[in-house]
Structure 1
Amino acid sequence: MNAQPDRPGYWYAQDTPAKERAVQVLNALRDYRASEGAMRRRTRATMSMGETDLLALRYLLEAQAQGRDLSPKDLAAKLGITSASMTTLVDRLVRSGHVSREPHPTDRRALILRPTQGSDHEVRKTLGEMHRRMVEVAAALSPKESETVVGFLRDMAAAVDKIEPLAH
């Protein structure tokens, strides 16, 4: 999806040059989010997994790369789901061959979850080229541009996190 810099913001006032630039940035950010959403849908379809399944697998692969273990309770907390939902999710990921349950190394009553070698390979095969392109785009930024983008995205995340739900 290509950004269209002259496209109006359908609800943003554009009564100054600064606000016009802001609308262009917000439109580009919206276009990126739409492209990322479409990529996630394609990935879910390719891997025959739901969004929560993919997110769980991502957290497990990250933990493995960092040498950390995740229990079902840890993963449920990261995903914001109940223990019953977590049990269903883990059962599904074990059945599909993406995750294994293993005994906790120090607590014999507990389990840890590990992504299988096959799931790591499948994720790399499915997403590797896209990640390479994304890193290439980000690496092309100058140090100052990178600092600006990171600051902007963190500030946007903080602005979005401050939005309160509407009272009914």
Structure 2
Amino acid sequence: MTERWVPQTPRDALMMSAMTAVRAFSDAMDRMHGDMRGDMDMNASDLAAMRLLVVREQRGEWVSPHQIAAHLSISTASTTKLLDRLTASGHLERRPHPSDRRARVVVLTDAARAEFYRHFGERMGRMREGMASFTDDELRAIVRFLGEMETALGG
């Protein structure tokens, strides 16, 4: 598609409104992450790696340096520099994989986890407040919608 899409039907207009809302939400997330980078004195890649580790930790999953490189779309050399920087600052530790001693995993330090939640927790609290007026069915629809958008964007 090389031309701007122009809604032709009421459904098209609703879809355009949804895409506009997604863009506004994405912009708000970018601003929040920018604020967090400043609060935590980190660059974008450092914070993105921290967020990945927090999410995977919540799922009970281990994270390898290779997975960080793939998630951030950076080279292994850049990943090594990132991990060295975050290890030196006390945010990360490299450890042997618990079931494969040939592999390494990257984990958050307790101090980094506390710092992350201190900065992120207030923002998440405001997001939860914003969701309070939605019904369970509406929240399920939002979850489904966002999952479909992630898939559509190659997530």
- Tell me the TM-score normalized by structure 1: 0.75
Residue 123 (str. 1) matches residue 116 (str. 2) = yes
Q: Which residue is 1:159 aligned to? A: 152
1:102, 1:113 within 8 Å by CA — same for their partners in 2? Answer: yes
Give the gaps of 5 or more residues in structure 1: 1-10, 162-168
Report the CA distance shift for 1:76/1:130 in structure 2 as closer, same or farther (over 3 A).
same
Q: Which residue is 1:43 aligned to? A: 36
What is the CA–CA distance in structure 2 between the aligned matches of 1:143 and 1:106, rounded to whole Å? 39
Q: 1:63 aligns with which of 56, 60, 70?
A: 56
What is the CA–CA distance in structure 2 between the aligned matches of 1:66 and 1:24, rounded to whole Å? 33
* Percent identity of paired positions between Structure 1 and Structure 2: 34
Two-structure CA RMSD over aligned residues (Å): 2.4
Give the gaps of 5 or more residues in structure 2: none
What is the CA–CA distance in structure 1 between the aligned matches of 2:23 and 2:98, rounded to whole Å? 45
Deviates more, 1:78-87 or 1:90-99: 78-87
What is the CA–CA distance in structure 1 between the aligned matches of 2:42 and 2:71, rounded to whole Å? 18
Deviations 1:14-69 (A, max 9, x none): 33333232222222222111111111111111111122211211222333344443
Name the aligned partner's letter for residue 147 of structure 2.
Answer: R
Deviations 1:135-162 (A, max 9, x none): 233343212212322232233333333x
Q: 2:135 aligns with which of 130, 142, 146?
A: 142
Report the CA distance shift for 1:31/1:71 in structure 2 as closer, same or farther (over 3 A).
closer
Tell me the matched-pair count: 152
- Structure number with greater Rg is 1
Q: Which residue is 2:19 aligned to? A: 26
- Tell me the TM-score normalized by structure 2: 0.81
Name the aligned partner's letter for residue 143 of structure 1.
Answer: D
Q: Which residue is 2:93 aligned to? A: 100
What is the CA–CA distance in structure 1 between the aligned matches of 2:144 and 2:57, rounded to whole Å? 29
Q: CA deviation at 1:131?
A: 0.7
